[in-house]
Amino acid sequence: MPKLSVSGGHQLYYEVHGNARGLPVLYVHGGPGGGCSKADHRFFDFKKTRVIFFDQRGAGKSRPFASTKNNTTDELVGDINRLLDHLGLERVFLFGGSWGSTLSLVFAIRHPERALGLLLRGIFLGTKAENDYYLKGGIRLYFPEIWERFLSHVPRKARNNPAAYYQKQMHSRSRAIRQAYAFEWAFYEFSIMKLHTTEADTTKAIRSFPFEALSRLEAHYILRNCFLPENYILENAARLAHLPISIVQGRYDMVCPPEAAFRLHEQLPGSRLHVVTAGHTAREKPIEKMLISEMKRLARQTS
């Protein structure tokens, strides 16, 4: 399994698939901590693209697993540069969803000379307002029972900042406590990602991947406003105005509400915005279909 050593004692797992002469694409997974899977291959025609999949620090098969040490947005941007240099790629097309949209945008803003274009889904700008909505009760408006379940594991005196309490418990010396709180964090997110789901489906989905990295790293990043100055992406979006950019957004996305996608599109008037009848996850058919269609179009346009 190919791994690339980067700073701070981390090793990144990566895979390269497709045509060596095709459009180079970097798949930037969500979370933070979500990692990549074989299911992510479905968005690409490997006859026409060369796609790099990599697990960000602490995620998936990268090591150390679920580590928050030396794990910041700046370091992830540096890792992308290191990976591209390692593979001999000067420029890539960036494909990112949710947190992957955030990291793709930050990387492209800081290194526009290395970006060929962007296909983004479920826009998250890493602002305080978005973080507060997600972790300080905004979800209650639409999923009151899910919010109450998330809150029920927090003592009343700590409920003004439940994410901080969860983070503390996810770093407990007790493995059982760590896993219990990581599971509940993931359950909260997975319960609001789709238009239609059940508790059984949610539990099955969580158990299908190493959820502890997702939960610990999301708390680590969100509690620190993703290590970004406030409104950083929108204030610097003009640096990307020359690039082909397509945005796919679920109309009923409760994790990353559509307002962020509209605000980004306003700052990038040359971008294309597709709002589809879906929630947050790329596993919903309207989002999946649009991503595949836009990837084909952008591959033709960019090649």
For 115-126, write each residue's pLDDT tens digit.
999 999 999 999
What span, in angstroms and rounded, lies between the C-alpha atoms of 93 and 243? 10
Q: What pLDDT score was predicted for residue 116?
A: 97
Q: Could you tell me which of 51, 49, 90, 94 has the C-alpha nearest to residue 76?
A: 94
pLDDT digits (tens, 9 = 90+) for 92-117: 999 999 999 999 999 999 999 999 99
The answer to whether residue 2 scores a pLDDT higher than 90 is no
pLDDT attached to residue 117: 97
Chain-centroid distance, C-alpha 78: 17
Phi–psi pair at 116, nearest 5 degrees: -95, -20
**Is 98 labeled as catalytic in the residue annotation?**
yes
Does residue 87 register a pLDDT over 90?
yes
Please determine, for residue 286, whether its predicted confidence score (pLDDT) is greater than 80. Answer: yes
Whether 1 shows a pLDDT value over 80: the answer reads no
Annotated catalytic residue 85: no
User: 302: pLDDT confidence band, cut at 50, 70 and 90?
Assistant: confident
Which among 10, 220, 265, 280 is annotated as catalytic? 280
Q: Which of 67, 98, 101, 104 is catalytic?
A: 98
pLDDT digits (tens, 9 = 90+) for 232-258: 999 999 999 999 999 999 999 999 999
Calculate Rg over the CA atoms of the chain: 18
The domain locations on the chain are: 3-127+228-302, 129-225
Question: Can you name the CATH fold of 3-127+228-302?
Answer: Rossmann fold (3.40.50)
Helix, strand, or coil here: 164?
helix
Give the C-alpha separation, 225 to 93, whole Å. 26
* Residue 209 confidence class, pLDDT cut points 50, 70, 90: confident
Q: What is the side-by-side strand order in the sheet with 92-97? A: 3-5, 11-18, 49-54, 23-28, 92-97, 115-121, 245-250, 272-276
- Percentage of residues in the chain with pLDDT exceeding 70? 99
In the set 79, 104, 253, 271, the catalytic residue is: 253
Residue 303 has pLDDT above 70, yes or no: no
What pLDDT, in 10s, does the model give residues 34-73? 999 999 999 999 999 999 999 999 999 999 999 999 999 9
Q: Catalytic site residue 174?
A: no
